Chain A
Amino acid sequence: MTTPGQDDRARQRGQESRLLRAWATPTGWRYWTAVNNTEVGLWYTAAAFLFMLFAGVLALLMRVQLAVPDNDFVSANTYNQLFTLHGSVMMFLFAVPVFEAFSILILPQMLGSRDLPFPRLSAFGFWCFIIGGAFVCGSIFFDIAPQGGWFMYPPLTTQYQDGLGADVWLLGLSFIEVASIAAAVELIIGVLKCRPPGMRINLIPLYAWYILVVGAMILFAFPPLIAGDLLFELERAFDWPFFDPSRGGDPLLWQHLFWIFGHPEVYIVFLPAVALVAMMVPTFAGRPMVGYTWIVLAAVGTGFLSFGLWVHHMYATGMPGISLAFFSGASEAVAIPTGVQIFCFLATALAGRMSRSLPMLYVSGALAIFVLGGLTGVMVALVPFDWQAHDTYFVVAHLHYVLIGGMGFPVAAGFYYFYPMATGKMLSERLGRIAFWLLFIGFNVAFLPMHLTGLRGMPRRVFSYAEGMGFDTLNLVSTVGAFVMAAGVTVFVWDVVRPKRRQPYAPRNPWNAGTLEWLAEMPAKPWGIRSIPIIRSRYPLWDQPDLVKDVDEGRFYLPDAEEGRREFLVTSTIDAVPIQCQRVPGPTTVTIFAAAFLGGVFIFATFGWYLATVVSGVLALAAILTWLWTGTGEIPEKPDKDVGLGLRLPLYAAGPNSVGWWAMFITMIGDMTAFASLVFGYFFYWTVRDDFPPGPDAGPGQFWPAWAAALVLAAWLLTVAARECNRRSMAGGYYAALGAAALLTVAGAAALIAGPRLTGLDPTSHVYPATVWVLVVWGVAHLAVGLVMQLYCVARRWAGRLTPVYDGDIRNTTLYWHFTAVTGAVTCAVIALFPLAGAP
């Protein structure tokens, strides 16, 4: 079936020119205002690789220092900054961002979509990333880089390091973590809601399954670190003793929060990379993946199990053996899904006819290295062995085998594979092979000896070692290997940056792959996809005859941009039934300003310039409100439009049908996880200390928290009432309800503060008042955001941008308030009631 009149070539050309105009990439300096996934994805990838090269150079400096015993190439102080930055930059500025970057580039293509659901959010995420990353990396040139290791254990980093390094780490990286959560929200919604019609959940590309799982993992893994960062910075800046044992604190709380983040983090790094392999293997085997459902098992299973491993980084802390044993069991269990997917790849290769190619060469290298790393992982999962291997070079070897085998080589393979899709040209076969062998040999020469070096007794994070311990030759060999690897990286980088102007474009679908992203023309057109097809197979380019021709001739959905707007389809979650035509904004400067001002908040706070911080914060709020006002909840000029093939779809959705509502919901899940981490901290102190709370009267009492809870709940109910008033076109009721709600919000915040303030709780005296205060501060901050939202909704209706039908803003606000009500109620219950129950 096709839209009537679509056969006309002139009509097709008209559509193409309108699509080109709507999706045009800005030129000149305006190029940097682009928000389309193609541009943002490219910048993100380039930035991530630059940070990787920077961290790699730091590693080479470390290896020179360790090449011979008792070396003095760098001082201890410099070395300690080098290893801290190497780890932090690689993990936070390369490993996670590179998956975000790749996803931004390729996921919409794989799903037949023209962009991600929130393009400005992706652009904002990129600008936050580059500003935060430059800040963190730049610190070493001023000798203020962090020096506590990438995990920054207190009390060393809270009480014994007075310089700015730790603050640079905390604030720089918190800023970037916000960007990661934004990316996670987008990717989850992209996979669930922005698919081509007919792409039911059993037909989605395997990459999409992995990204869905990883997005959900980010929501539960990053917030505990953000909560921990908050406690950490409060201790450093204001002396609230969360990790100071002399005042009731405990350094172990940081370790728990960090590793609840840190362990899933490594799977957040690994899974998207192995997802690339899952896309490449079927292509080069010439057949669909064998064991598609097993791979779904592997992705979902790894995602869940990875949250039960974190204490295996803490086996040496003296926790009860039984606790350690639980984590040992889970750590062994996670090897099962990890292995299953590898056997799926092998099974596919077995059942297919493998053709040789550069991407598959890198995948083979990845397999050889990763399997070895996985096997040493199984070793250190056992407690008695880990008690020897922990904090030695054995673990350094293990982590590099799994990271470089599980992420480095697959990403390199993905780079060679997807490069033509992004740029239209191929990378060099010859240079790629040379780079591969240098990388593979160099890597093994560098890291294989480290297993032995560690078990012979060399601890981690040492700037030098003594002669005659048995480390000398091993370290020298490792250093040589590192430089061979560096040579490989150099060849790779040269292949990427060398001018290719005279190289012809690659043929379309150069690898003869079966999935939708290879509809891309060489070079790609800015519209992403010419028309959005109906999908009937996991490998549509192989199974659906004439698909390419039909897409190119605009015979499917949205072949045109009649109103000159950027549009794609929103579909249902399970069966991808089209439910809405979504319009997204084009290039803008507001995201750059928002990122810059928000960056200012974090950067000025690092230096303790609090006035500048506040000013920057106000400007950031203004930028974000401008962005929301001009770019979201837009009332369309007509309720629905014809999207092709005789289908009419609404142009606006609110509530659970809208992607905006989903974004709020998912973000709040992340927010609640951070809140839960703070509450966990409260109960953790109660468990491990005898003096928490110090007595039944030591808390903020019951009176003020009860009032606070009542006021917050009332504000919530009034906000919900306002939504109902709006729906029934009761303008007076709407403004009254929201106005009253706003007043009650302020009163509730005041009551919440009154509790600890009027009972004289001093947060610097003991961790108990500090914990009560941090819960109160969290609550007040959320009430403040809720207040801004209430006032925003008042303004929107007043300006006619919110109507009884087009009510997305108030719906999202009430959704936020549902979560805030829970936060408020739980906070008050914990701080008011627990001292009665739990005091000694």
Chain B
Amino acid sequence: MSAAAASPRATRRALWLLTYAPTVWALHFLASYVSAALYCAKWADATGVLGPVRLLIGLFTVLALLAIGVTAWRGYRQHRYGEDGAVPHDAATAADRHRFLGFATLLLCGLSAVATIYVAMAVIFIGSCR
């Protein structure tokens, strides 16, 4: 690990990393819902078959899971920072605070990935607007 990363800085940005994965989930959810709703309201034909929208949402899902994966990797590295970092990360040091934020990020990535998959399952089982 480089010297620059050796002392984890207490920037406000550090807290935002926690929110990346759930935010990706939220954006994926919004993009999927809006795409399907607009398509069904404006452009679907009488049978209401979904067709292209399912592929689009599949694409969104892949992108979302990739973004969550990248964040999970960052969180994991942060969680394993330094030598001595076992859970619980409850020591009064900058290093443990850094590890705590990494672990929390990692856990939130796991939840966000599961939630994204649950939402995306809709396009596997539902094929029409009706």
Contact = CB atoms under 8 A, between A and B. Distances in A.
Q: In the complex they form, do A and B come into direct contact, defined as C-beta atoms under 8 angstroms apart?
A: yes
Interface string B79-117: 000000001111010101100110110011001101100
A610 interface: no
A203 B126 CA distance: 46
A572 interface: yes
Contacts of A322: 36, 40, 50, 53, 122-123, 126, 128-129
A200 B111 contact: no
A307 B107 contact: no
Given A304-B22, A337-B111, A325 B11 contact: no
Given A304-B22, A325-B125, A297 B48 contact: no
A572 B10 contact: yes
12 contacts: A201-B100, A202-B97, A292-B90, A320-B37, A322-B53, A322-B123, A326-B122, A328-B122, A329-B115, A535-B92, A574-B11, A574-B15
A304 B18 CA distance: 11
Given A300-B19, A301-B111, A330-B118, A574 B97 contact: yes
Q: What does DSSP make chain B's interface, helix, strand, loop or mixed? A: helix
Contacts of B118: 329-330, 332-333
B41 A293 contact: no
A296 B19 CA distance: 12
B97 A200 contact: yes
Given A320-B48, A336-B114, 4 more contacts: A297-B111, A304-B22, A326-B29, A329-B115
Among A304, A320, A326, the one with the most B-chain Cβ atoms within 10 Å of its Cβ is A326
B129 A293 contact: no
Contact of B107 (A293, A320, A573): A293
Interface of B: 10-12, 14-15, 18-19, 22-23, 25-26, 29, 32-33, 36-38, 40-42, 48, 50, 53, 87-90, 92, 94, 96-97, 100-101, 103-104, 107-108, 111-112, 114-115, 118-123, 125-126, 128-130
Nearest to B33: A326
Contacts, number: 141
A: interface residue count bin: 35 or more
6 cross-chain pairs, A with B, having the tightest CB-CB distances, nearest first? A325-B122, A202-B100, A329-B118, A304-B22, A333-B115, A536-B92
Given A201-B101, A293-B100, A687-B42, A320 B129 contact: yes
B55 to A, nearest CB: 13
Nearest to A656: B12
Contact of A300 (B18, B50, B90, B121): B18
B33 A305 contact: no
Contacts of B100: 201-202, 293
Nearest to A192: B15
A288 interface: yes
A200 B99 CA distance: 12
Interface string A387-405: 0000000000000000000
Given A201-B101, A203-B92, A687-B41, A321 B119 contact: no
B46 to A, nearest CB: 14
B97 A201 contact: yes
Interface in A307-330: 307-308, 319-323, 325-326, 328-330
A576 to B, nearest CB: 9
